Amino acid sequence: MRLLRDLSLKVRLTLLYVGLFSALLVVLAAGFYLETRHFLIAETASDLQAQIETAVGRWHGGMPLPPPPPAPPGAPSGRPSPSVASQGDLASLVRDVVERGDSAVVVDASGRVLASAGEGAGLAKAWEPCTPKLVPNRATTCLVRLSGERYLVGAMPLGAGGDVLLVGRSLRPVEQVLFRQQLMLGVGVGLLLLFGTLLGFWLTSSALAPLDDMVETCNRIAAGDLSQRVNLPRRNDEIGRLAAAFDHMVDRVEATMEAQQRFVASAAHELRTPLAALQGSMDVLLRDALDDPPTARRLVQGMYREVTRLFRLCDQLLGLSRAHLAESVHRRPVDLSSFFHEFMMQAGFLAQERHLSLQEGDPVTIPVDPDALKRILFNLVDNAVQHTAEGGEIVVGWRESPGGVEIFVKDNGEGIRPEDLPHVFEPFYRGDRSRSRRWGGAGLGLALVKALVEAHGGRVGVSSTPGKGATFTIWLPGE
Ligand SMILES: Nc1ncnc2c1ncn2[C@@H]1O[C@H](COP(=O)(O)OP(=O)(O)OP(=O)(O)O)[C@@H](O)[C@H]1O
Ligand SMILES: [Mg+2]
């Protein structure tokens, strides 16, 4: 069993296939052989029967024999009864019935040989173990072994006296035919098995070859080369689909690794900027500005701003890493009307000179983490404020949507350029870099929004017409 498990899959499949194939072939060949043997012996038997019945009919003068006498014993029959049939009569019957190497014998009820030809004498002995029920006017057959050879013996009673004619026919010709057939079947089955084994091995090898390619590709990927793919020519079987799924998985892994590398590089870059500013200010302070209180104060104020920025950045990075975990959100039923009223009171200070209003939908309660939803809305309103001129309009609200609720934050500010639109949810992406930097954003707000919404099983979307404003929508599931 262990040996079998150590064999390669293609060898195991080939063995299984060859095993089943050979079992099937052997059963078919044996069935065919036995059926032919049965047919040939049955043909020989009916030929022998016909020959005996014709000869005995002729011997009786062309008339069929009457059935065994119901009349008193010794009553005369149409033909000479065996007791009165002469030896010459019986000898002529025996001669008549023998053809092409057959043997014949007539025995009486006590087994005494009355007349014989060929192997006749031995035939009477070989017949003894056969005990078929003899029927008048009909020859009955039995298979016997005589002088090491198989014979088919036909027996027919010669009237009521108990004499029986036995005719034996050697089965050697039949056995020769069967031997030739056995030989042909053996050679045929052998050739078929050889051909089938080679074909089976070739088929399983070519079907499983892509698995070897996949193992090699996996090893190269494990060695660090993520650009490797199986790239199997298009085939729609299980292995083709496995290879396609494998390539797709490696695509995703590569994209994720690249995104992670970009993320780390961007995070390091964002951290480096305030740190460089801090280092510069400290340099100046340490060299000579400590003696100049107004300059020192200005520098420390700048350092304080940079430290605040660093804190915010770290806070956003932490929030983003937590938001990717679905278990970090604690959902509970929240009534959106009361939630939004409370939010509007807290967000009022954000709007500054913009007009912030609430567009209420039908009263609805959805399972959501209220702290996460607040964070999402603060980020969206903060963005809307950053990108809307003073006096602009910002509308926040919700409406029912199939399967859940759609929450929106709409402004009539500068909008988003079409080329920026597909990227705004990527971490560290800032549409108009110079302008965003003025506000000090790292480009993490919308990435955090997306991660939090997806942790709720929801979706985010954005639409915008440059110069006319932007609308961010969040769909959250109702259950
Ligand atoms: N309401 C909006 N109107 C126009 N542009 C927007 C709006 N909201 C987002 N954007 C664009 O999407 C970019 C990404 O926004 P995001 O909130 O992720 O980053 P940020 O606001 O620049 O920085 P952070 O939110 O980290 O402080 C912004 O830089 C801006 O170009
Ligand atoms: Mg933002």
What is the dotted CATH code of the domain comprising 229-323? 1.10.287.130
Q: What secondary structure letter does DSSP report for 414?
A: S
- pLDDT value, residue 66: 42
**pLDDT tens digits for range 275-304:** 999 999 999 888 877 778 888 899 999 999
Residue 63 has pLDDT above 50, yes or no: no
Helices (H), 161-292: 172-222, 238-287
Per-residue model confidence (pLDDT) at position 440 = 63
> Domain ranges in the chain?
229-323, 327-477
Residue pLDDT, tens place only, 152-181: 999 988 876 788 888 988 899 999 999 999
pLDDT in tens, 366-413: 999 999 999 999 999 999 999 999 999 999 999 999 999 999 999 999
pTM over 0.85: no
Q: Is 381 in the pocket of ligand 1 (CB under 6 A)?
A: no
Task: Name the pLDDT band for 1 (thresholds 50, 70, 90).
Answer: low
Task: Verify whether ligand 1 is closer than 6 Å to residue 414 (CB atom).
Answer: yes
What residue owns the CA closest to ligand 1's atom 4? 415
Half-sphere exposure of 445 (CA within 13 A, CB side): 22
Pick the more confident residue, 96 or 424: 424
**191 exposure class (CB count in 10 Å sphere: 0-12, 13-18, 19+):** exposed
pLDDT higher than threshold 50 for residue 467: yes
The number of angstroms, rounded, from the C-alpha of 109 to the middle of its chain's C-alpha atoms is: 75
CA dist 456 and 407 (Å) reads 13
According to the model, what pLDDT value does residue 71 have?
Answer: 38
Q: Say yes or no to pLDDT of 73 above 80.
A: no
For residue 334, the model assigns a pLDDT of: 96
Mean pLDDT of 434-443: 61
Burial of 333 (0-12, 13-18, 19+ CB in 10 A): exposed
According to CATH, the superfamily of the domain at 327-477 is Histidine kinase-like ATPase, C-terminal domain (3.30.565.10)
Going by pLDDT thresholds of 50, 70 and 90, the confidence category of residue 81 is very low
Q: 126 CA to middle of ligand 1, Å?
A: 111
Count Cβ neighbours within 10 Å for each residue of 129-157 and write b for 16 or more, e otherwise. eeeeeeeeeebbbbebebeeeebbbbbbb
Is residue 315 in contact with ligand 1, taking CB distance under 6 Å? no
Task: Give the ligand 1 atom nearest the CA of 429.
Answer: 14
| Same fold for the pair 229-323 and 327-477 | no
- Nearest CA among 371, 355, 384, 353 for reference residue 456: 371
pLDDT at 79 over 50: no
